[in-house]
Structure 1
Amino acid sequence: MKLELPRGMRDIESEDLAGINLVRDRFFETARLFNFRMMEPSPLEMLSTLEAKSGASISNEIYAFKDKGNRDVALRFDLTIGLSRYIVSRRDLKMPAKIAAFAGVFRYDEPQAGRYRYFHQWDIEVYGPFSQESDAEIIEFVSVFFKKLGLPVSIQVNDRQLVEEFIRSRLGITDEQKVLEMFRAVDKVPKKGAQGVIAEYKDAIDPAKLQKLIDFSNTRGNVRQVAEKADVEGLQGWQKLTGLMDSLATRKVEAEINSGIVRGLDYYSGMVFEVFEASGEGGALVGGGRYDRLTEAFGRKDIGATGAAGGIERIVMALQKHGIVETSAEPLVYVAYATDEIKNKAIEIASVLRNSNIRTDHDMLGRALRKQMDDASTKDAAFVIIVAPSELAENKVTIKSMKEGKESKHNISNLVGDIRNFLKT
């Protein structure tokens, strides 16, 4: 029998898992600081729920199937939809509700380097308020999170209302479908280039008007710089965006306006933002915005919603590139024994160290002392405790530094404290 995984799946090995755990720990820490409530939405949803967000065509991009009760179900492809379903169904919850989640998701995308069909996401949402302060809260959370990771990033903010007003008032396009097509077109520019997008939409959108929108989308900078470059004066969306930038400045969050950030999903209804490595290399690490249309589609016009999601594996790759991820946070102590007769004493010592919260390993194969020392070296142990008959008769053991090669004898009754002192140096 050939043992293989389905296409697009992988086993997550210890090095990658260490990065995922680092991101998870910093995310949980930030969620606690901002008083977000942690939860995990169901991994299995009714297909109709997912289609409410993304349309019937979404079934081609996800794992959808009939269960044994002949119901159309699907694996979650993000966390936003499950969290939103949960919130709108809980009329007993007090608003605002600040929710955070960290979990795996499934997408039936074409596998690529660093992109698999199962991956991890973190997600934060603020439900209830329609105010800009909840938008700013989301962006500040993301800023603090990346500071805790030690990864320099660029936060780029826009407002879809501003872009829509520009399309309607400056370009004279009022048809709803045409407006949405303009959004989809400008969202493709970073990947396909301006000329490629104009060629793709030449039969659907006036090329001259699309070129004006693309020129507008290339405007970036602070409030003053964008106001000088782009025709935004008098637009209500511009007033909203400047108000958001003022709130971010109060929170000491560094961000810039990028008029090309529109996010491809049609349910976004206001502020949108993306986060990139400060170097500008690679795709977005985080994306988010205001999506009141989603909670409305679920039957709750009274609930506003704003949030963000980050791809964990992509963030881990950025951390690895900057040398931030460590495979192990704590040094290892290895307990070795010279003869089989004192093996149980070595195991007892290892257990005492573990119960004292010291990372410890020992031989389980009954190997000779020399082979145990080789095993300790292979496992990158910082110190080896050698249990030998002559020292044990005096209630002592030998501690060897694997880095320096120095050895010293220690009383077993003081071993935990002595090892802790060694680990601090």
Structure 2
Amino acid sequence: MKVQCLKGFRDYLPGEMLQKERMLASVREVFEQHGYPPLMTPALEYAEVLTGKYGDEGEMLLYRFRDNGDRDVALRYDLTVPLARVLAEHGDIGMPFRRYQIAPVWRAEKPARGRFREFMQCDVDLIGVDTAAADAEMLVIGAAVMKRFGIESYRLRINHRGLLTALCRLVGLEGEAESDFLRILDKLDKIGEEKFRSEVSAISGLDASGLDRVLEVVLCELQEPREVISHITAVLGEDDQAREAIDRMSAILDIVEASGIASVCQIDPSIARGLSYYTGLVYETFLDDLPQVGSVMSGGRYNDLVGMFSGKDLPAIGISLGIDRLFYALGELDLLSGEQQPAKVLVVQFSEELASASFAAAAKLRQSGVDTLVYPKDAKVKKQLQYAQKSGIPFVIVIGEEESRSGTVQFRDMDAGSQEEISLESAIEKITGGQKSS
């Protein structure tokens, strides 16, 4: 038997997983600072909850089977449909409802480089409110995540589906033709302007003047958000839906300016978001220094989705972080911690007779808030130091026979290459900078 992972799945070894968990801990802190608590839903749902929600293609990608109780079940495909089920099942949940969820999802698609059948999704959503303030709050949270990661050069590219619908109406694109246009627009960054022009011009029912009008809006080269709004108003301002969208965008800009994030927000009429359920604000986030990575954070308003089971009118706005893309980008930008081991201190086990002294010292270190491991056997000290070096552990404590008698320790700073004999209390002060855990 060849022992290996299922195709399309992968292991995350401790070094990589530690860095990813540190990254996710930062995300959780940002979400909770903005008043969003976590939600957890089961990996398995009744199949009828998930079927019919993702279109024909999505239906084919469900991991669906009958369990030991002969129930028709499926692994969750995303985090949004389970959220809709939660809102219907727990009807006493107060509104507005905030939540974030970070959890794996499963899709039986063809594996490819960077694409797996099991992957992590990270969503934050605000349910029950349809206001510019709610829309802007998502942008504020997104900017806070980028700031926490230390990413400074990026753009939150913003649009409104109402503007795109009005544009299609203006040039006579309806039904399937409108869907074709939005599908082509959604891949503009991938296919480039020339191919975009070619594919859009081939849409049935779009004449030359209509094509010019479309390109005038979606390929607008203005950068200053208020100038872009003025440009769009000049083209679409007579349309009631467009006017409503323009007013909403202006109100959002007021709030992001007051929140101090206007410099990273860009109104981009080419942003479409391919999913048909978006009804208002849409946005994607791109890194200036790594454009090839694509969007690392995206989302928008989807007012007609999460009320699907309850039958209630539940407007919603949310953000989804591309965890794997962000993790890769942080590595490329040298913004990941270099930790391969959570411990800050290795306590050497000098001999079996002194094992108790080593564990007693480790207990005091942990009580002071210092993550500590004890080497599991009395190997040569050189070998234990090599282990600390390889594992990235910055400090080592050695308690030999002389140190045990004198009540001291040998304290080694691995980065500095220095070693001194001091009390354990002094070593703790050096490690913590005098900031002991309460």
Fold match by TM threshold 0.5: yes
Cα shift at 1:70? 4.1
Cα shift at 1:39? 0.8
> Which AA in structure 1 matches 2:228?
V
User: Which position in structure 1 is the counterpart of 2:301?
Assistant: 290
Q: Secondary structure at the match of 1:297?
A: coil
Cα shift at 1:232? 2.8
> Which AA in structure 2 matches 1:224?
R
Matches within 5 A, 1:403-422: 403-411=415-423, 415-422=424-431
User: Aligned partners of 1:219, 1:68: CA distance in 2, in Å?
Assistant: 57
Does residue 346 of the first structure (1) align with residue 358 of the second (2)? yes
User: Which position in structure 1 is the counterpart of 2:278?
Assistant: 268
Structure 1: where are the runs of 5+ without partners? none
Matches within 5 A, 1:28-47: 28-47=28-47
**Structure 1 297/214 Cα, relative in aligned 2: closer, same or farther at 3 Å?**
farther
User: Which position in structure 1 is the counterpart of 2:75?
Assistant: 75
CA contact (8 A) 2:81 2:306 kept: no
Does residue 320 of the first structure (1) align with residue 331 of the second (2)? yes
User: Aligned partners of 1:63, 1:306: CA distance in 2, in Å?
Assistant: 27
- After TM superposition, the score normalised by the length of structure 2 is 0.87
> Which AA in structure 1 matches 2:227?
Q
Q: Secondary structure at the match of 2:334?
A: coil
Q: Secondary structure at the match of 2:305?
A: helix
User: Which position in structure 2 is the counterpart of 1:22?
Assistant: 22
Structure 2: where are the runs of 5+ without partners? none
Moved more, 2-11 or 129-138: 129-138
**Structure 1 316/207 Cα, relative in aligned 2: closer, same or farther at 3 Å?**
farther
User: Which position in structure 1 is the counterpart of 2:380?
Assistant: 368
**Structure 1 379/61 Cα, relative in aligned 2: closer, same or farther at 3 Å?**
same
Cα RMSD (Å): 2.6
> Which AA in structure 2 matches 1:288?
G
Q: Secondary structure at the match of 1:182?
A: helix
CA offsets 1:16-69 (integer angstroms, 9 cap, x no match): 223322232122211222111211222222333333432243122332333334
CA offsets 1:337-381 (integer angstroms, 9 cap, x no match): 444332332233223323332222233233233333333333333
User: Which position in structure 2 is the counterpart of 1:222?
Assistant: 224
User: Aligned partners of 2:20, 2:212: CA distance in 1, in Å?
Assistant: 41
User: Aligned partners of 2:381, 2:255: CA distance in 1, in Å?
Assistant: 64
CA offsets 1:57-93 (integer angstroms, 9 cap, x no match): 3122332333334444322222122112212333212
User: Which position in structure 2 is the counterpart of 1:392?
Assistant: 404
Q: Secondary structure at the match of 1:27?
A: helix
Same amino acid, percent of matched pairs: 25
Does residue 213 of the first structure (1) align with residue 217 of the second (2)? no
User: Which position in structure 1 is the counterpart of 2:246?
Assistant: 238
Does residue 307 of the first structure (1) align with residue 308 of the second (2)? no
CA contact (8 A) 1:356 1:416 kept: no
User: Aligned partners of 1:222, 1:259: CA distance in 2, in Å?
Assistant: 13
User: Aligned partners of 1:245, 1:317: CA distance in 2, in Å?
Assistant: 31
User: Which position in structure 2 is the counterpart of 1:150?
Assistant: 150
User: Which position in structure 2 is the counterpart of 1:188?
Assistant: 187
**Structure 1 210/332 Cα, relative in aligned 2: closer, same or farther at 3 Å?**
same
Cα shift at 1:207? 6.5
> Which AA in structure 2 matches 1:421?
K
The alignment covers a number of residue pairs equal to 420
User: Aligned partners of 1:224, 1:383: CA distance in 2, in Å?
Assistant: 54
Q: Secondary structure at the match of 1:295?
A: coil
User: Which position in structure 2 is the counterpart of 1:247?
Assistant: 255
Does residue 88 of the first structure (1) align with residue 97 of the second (2)? no
Cα shift at 1:184? 1.8
User: Aligned partners of 1:211, 1:15: CA distance in 2, in Å?
Assistant: 53
Moved more, 219-228 or 125-134: 219-228
**Structure 1 3/203 Cα, relative in aligned 2: closer, same or farther at 3 Å?**
same
Q: Secondary structure at the match of 2:348?
A: strand
User: Aligned partners of 1:308, 1:150: CA distance in 2, in Å?
Assistant: 19
**Structure 1 46/398 Cα, relative in aligned 2: closer, same or farther at 3 Å?**
same
CA contact (8 A) 1:18 1:327 kept: no
User: Aligned partners of 1:336, 1:363: CA distance in 2, in Å?
Assistant: 6
**Structure 1 143/374 Cα, relative in aligned 2: closer, same or farther at 3 Å?**
closer
User: Aligned partners of 1:194, 1:372: CA distance in 2, in Å?
Assistant: 59
CA contact (8 A) 1:76 1:106 kept: yes
Q: Secondary structure at the match of 1:7?
A: coil
User: Which position in structure 1 is the counterpart of 2:108?
Assistant: 108
User: Aligned partners of 1:26, 1:51: CA distance in 2, in Å?
Assistant: 34
**Structure 1 274/56 Cα, relative in aligned 2: closer, same or farther at 3 Å?**
same
User: Aligned partners of 2:427, 2:187: CA distance in 1, in Å?
Assistant: 61
